[in-house]
Structure 1
């Protein structure tokens, strides 16, 4: 194989040490993401008691990081198609690491909200870019499992946050959890050296020597050079330059699918962030102790890890669309079931299923979006989907706080987080299996095959 497009060379490459290293670094970043977001739910009962804040204000504070993520996804999240994945990821790391650490020093809710917004900006900009980076450096047969494996480290961070809230907070206070959130800053020098850049970006910017170094690691059997790939790639790139990248999300038959993907993202995030923020308080309201409710949050995130791994395997077997539909429907049933008093075995099963099909589904919906869009607008496509999805993420904690303040029956609170699963399943079911008009790269790949 001496000629071909970039996508073809990468997709046909066999899994090797370089792929696994990228998976490791991106998974580590997702762990930070999970910790920084879930930690608020873990410390929320202590924070409400310490500062005497109302459920409504607590919900607004919970939504502040998610509002920041929407801003980050719309700015930093879509900027790497222009400035490069690696550079934007590292900038985002500095932003969310510093902001999360500062949260441990604030003295009032206003300062807390500002830090949470900035934390969200960094996280919101990072996630679409590590998804795009992983998608562009994975073989076709392993792409779903690689992306979802990486994204299932979000609940790993959630498990650490839940454990920290249960063990660290009673001993050292809630602020200690945010001091731990400064750990990502320590990894910056390592990532500066080892995190690679996207080949698509390097070729688009005519950095052929740098592209050759990465190409030989991704596909050691490829005997050509980056310059041999540049013609087909630049055709694709020049087509993208003639049109704004955001506009391309709605051209070539993509408009309806783009909107439906946005709906799926938004409702998935509504369920996910609503649950992770309010589960401890809701379980206490349902008659469980505070210690037990934090254990339930831990169980939810363990289920999310298993669900994230299962979703990637299942998507490679039956396709991302059908996997998403199944997961969203199971999410609706399991969340609704949590609103009723259950024995310990049934409760554990429901919590694990809810975690697997809400938090665990986040990886699958990201992979679904990443594989729908061609490389030249992939970060833009995932970034916009994630940004629009943040409306659901913001709504989850905020509306959950409002409902909690109304003293409604607990089962109605859980039902509010269950119904979106049904709507999301319908939205994904309506998506087309086709990307729309083939990009130049797709045509070139077809001709090579």
Structure 2
């Protein structure tokens, strides 16, 4: 009986309807991820006025969704290596959709905080699984580009939230953006019907018949013509997902540095998206223009994500991350000098493109670091630990705002994480190929 590595079959596949549908659903979910998280930056000035919030209180409200994402990545994200990844994704979509919708009906900061936390739990659980499932079922020739294309919809969601902040909130109030966020739950019936299960998960559960059927959909050329046993690339001594496995095989330093890189990246992304309008407003820019700057930054985020995916396929994830983190540090620090209009727009585009571009590539970098049987656990825990930075970002912005520092110093503080991330990424070792784990036949 012949043994077949499913990763070889997936790698050699050509893009087809299966991949397009998978990318569509992952991108759809990522769009709402970006929208749900960035919208807080647009409603923040209105909430501070209506509920008479101090900068510190506003920072806590902003951090609540990030704390939820950390909890979601720790729990729902890591459970996917033990339970069905498809089921976890569906549950997360339902949770963040309903929680975001409920945010629009809140009347007190406490109610709003609870809803934002639950929104974050759903988002934190879904994103690592989207990266994992797309990583495991995309052709090798375009895997990074597909993942980054999907992750670019975070920026599209952020862009839409900025436009909603400019045009919808003045007409319908700050609650309206959250009603829009709840629309994602309408897609659940179609998502339930068409979203596939992860092929690596099916192999781990020894569902050989399902693996064979799914591989024929992924790669139409795969016709073994004889009984085969499907296996994964993994270490035989680490056949079960575990936290300890993340530090095995000389991965300890790499795992810790990956976590640090995630944290610094998310601190910049979520700190800026939460406080940019308010910081620019405090620097003398009108509120409408300040929210417009958020839109421009997310236009840059979209462009940067697509470019970073292309470069990651050519340069590799590590070099791409080093370059983009360095660009993030430089561009963010220069925002504080109050440049002319053209230079300001260019710096906003560069800051958005470099920070969110890093956020996209670092997910792929994490997926590359770990073998398939602990990939979802590895990506989820890296994202979960990184959420410490996401929580710190809004809190840091509130703290800086309360100090009444000179305008330029606020941006210098937000630039420092970019330099730390450059060092962290350089210390992550490149992953090594591991032998095939073979599963016993199910009589396929």
TM-score by length of 1: 0.95
Does 2:393 match 1:407?
A: no
SS in 2 for 1:181: helix
CA distance in 1, matches of 2:220, 2:237: 30
Does 2:26 match 1:26?
A: yes
Does 2:290 match 1:308?
A: no
Task: Pick from 293, 314, 333 the counterpart of residue 336 of structure 1.
Answer: 333
CA distance in 2, matches of 1:226, 1:364: 39
Task: Pick from 304, 317, 321 the counterpart of residue 320 of structure 1.
Answer: 317
Does 2:422 match 1:425?
A: yes
Task: Pick from 277, 281, 291 the counterpart of residue 278 of structure 2.
Answer: 281
Equivalent residue runs for 1:352-391 within 5 Å: 352-391=349-388
CA distance in 1, matches of 2:25, 2:356: 20
| Unmatched tracts of structure 2, length 5 or more | 440-444
- Contact 2:370 2:431 (C-alpha < 8 Å) held by counterparts: no
SS in 1 for 2:14: coil
SS in 1 for 2:385: helix
What residue is the counterpart of 1:39 in the other structure? 39
CA distance in 2, matches of 1:125, 1:272: 18
**Bigger shift: 205-214 or 60-69?**
205-214
Equivalent residue runs for 1:202-351 within 5 Å: 202-224=202-224, 228-230=228-230, 232-233=231-232, 236=234, 239-241=237-239, 244-351=241-348
CA distance in 2, matches of 1:48, 1:163: 20
CA distance in 1, matches of 2:104, 2:235: 44
- Contact 2:368 2:431 (C-alpha < 8 Å) held by counterparts: no
1:226 CA displacement:
11
Summarize the Cα distance change of 1:425–1:227 in structure 2 as closer, same or farther, 3 Å threshold: farther
Summarize the Cα distance change of 1:405–1:199 in structure 2 as closer, same or farther, 3 Å threshold: same
1:443 CA displacement:
11
What residue is the counterpart of 1:97 in the other structure? 97
TM-score by length of 2: 0.96
Equivalent residue runs for 1:104-143 within 5 Å: 104-143=104-143
- Contact 2:304 2:352 (C-alpha < 8 Å) held by counterparts: yes
SS in 1 for 2:81: helix
Over the aligned positions, Cα root-mean-square deviation in angstroms equals 1.7
- Contact 2:234 2:437 (C-alpha < 8 Å) held by counterparts: no
Summarize the Cα distance change of 1:365–1:227 in structure 2 as closer, same or farther, 3 Å threshold: farther
Per-residue CA deviation, residues 241-294 of structure 1 (Å, 9 max, x unaligned), is 45x521110001111111111111000000000000000001111111001011
Summarize the Cα distance change of 1:227–1:204 in structure 2 as closer, same or farther, 3 Å threshold: farther
Q: Which one has the bigger helix percentage?
A: 1
What residue is the counterpart of 1:163 in the other structure? 163
- Contact 2:324 2:358 (C-alpha < 8 Å) held by counterparts: yes
Summarize the Cα distance change of 1:57–1:15 in structure 2 as closer, same or farther, 3 Å threshold: same
SS in 2 for 1:362: helix
Per-residue CA deviation, residues 137-183 of structure 1 (Å, 9 max, x unaligned), is 11112111111111111010001111111111000000011111101
CA distance in 2, matches of 1:241, 1:227: 23
**Bigger shift: 108-117 or 244-253?**
244-253
SS in 2 for 1:152: helix
- How many residues are treated as equivalent by the alignment? 438
Does 2:436 match 1:441?
A: yes
- Contact 1:7 1:441 (C-alpha < 8 Å) held by counterparts: no
Per-residue CA deviation, residues 407-440 of structure 1 (Å, 9 max, x unaligned), is 11111111111011011011111221234xx432
SS in 2 for 1:4: strand
What residue is the counterpart of 2:154 in the other structure? 154
Summarize the Cα distance change of 1:193–1:237 in structure 2 as closer, same or farther, 3 Å threshold: farther
Summarize the Cα distance change of 1:346–1:227 in structure 2 as closer, same or farther, 3 Å threshold: farther
CA distance in 1, matches of 2:367, 2:178: 31
- Contact 1:305 1:356 (C-alpha < 8 Å) held by counterparts: yes
1:227 CA displacement:
6.4
